[in-house]
Amino acid sequence: MKKKNASNLEEIGTRLKMIRSRLRKTQTAMAKDLGISLSHYSKLEVGIGGMSRGLIYTFCRLYNVSEAWLVYGEGETPAVIQSNQLTGRDPVNETIRRLKDQSDDHTIIEKIVSLSEDQDINRLAVEIAKTIDIPLNRAVALLISEKLRR
């Protein structure tokens, strides 16, 4: 069983390296994008250690890759891989950009502050952060982004 798991980690590492090379990024840049250390990222590429569900989610969302393909190799290899940072399709930035078109900066800031102080949002963010193993501030940002889209 361990051998299968180790093999899977190596395959994930191979896919991570393929994505990085197609994006023409360094390991340092990838680690920075993901909010992890260079050491952690380089170990992932060689199949040492696993990725948390939160890191898998973040990686796939950031680089527009399906989780099934990244983790299991299921489906087609993405033909063109683009970072959301390069394409400007970051959901938080899209929401902010759309709100700016509709109102002034002061109104946006008031909405964000109000939502960040909402106890229900903060309780849910704590649950999300624990469940998918992401930093609490990232969970809060995701929830606020979703609320602002509506």
Regarding whether 138 and 65 lie in a shared domain, the answer is no
The enclosing domain of 77 has a CATH number of 1.10.260.40
What is the structure's pLDDT at 57? Answer: 87
Higher pLDDT, 16 or 141: 16
Residue type, 60: C
Regarding whether 97 and 69 lie in a shared domain, the answer is no
Q: What mean pLDDT is reported for the chain?
A: 79
> Do residues 25 and 34 touch, judged by C-beta distance below 8 A?
no
Q: CA dist 94 to 11, 15, 98, 135, 147, Å?
A: 33, 28, 6, 21, 13
pLDDT digits (tens, 9 = 90+) for 51-105: 888 899 889 888 888 888 999 888 877 765 555 554 445 555 666 566 555 555 6
In terms of C-beta density within 10 A (0-12 exposed, 13-18 middle, 19 or more buried), how is residue 140 classed? buried
- What range does the domain containing 128 cover? 90-149
pLDDT digits (tens, 9 = 90+) for 41-60: 999 999 988 888 889 988 98
Number of domains in the chain: 2
Regarding whether 80 and 7 lie in a shared domain, the answer is yes
Of 31, 55, 85, which residue is a domain's last?
A: 85
Regarding whether 107 and 49 lie in a shared domain, the answer is no
Regarding whether 81 and 33 lie in a shared domain, the answer is yes
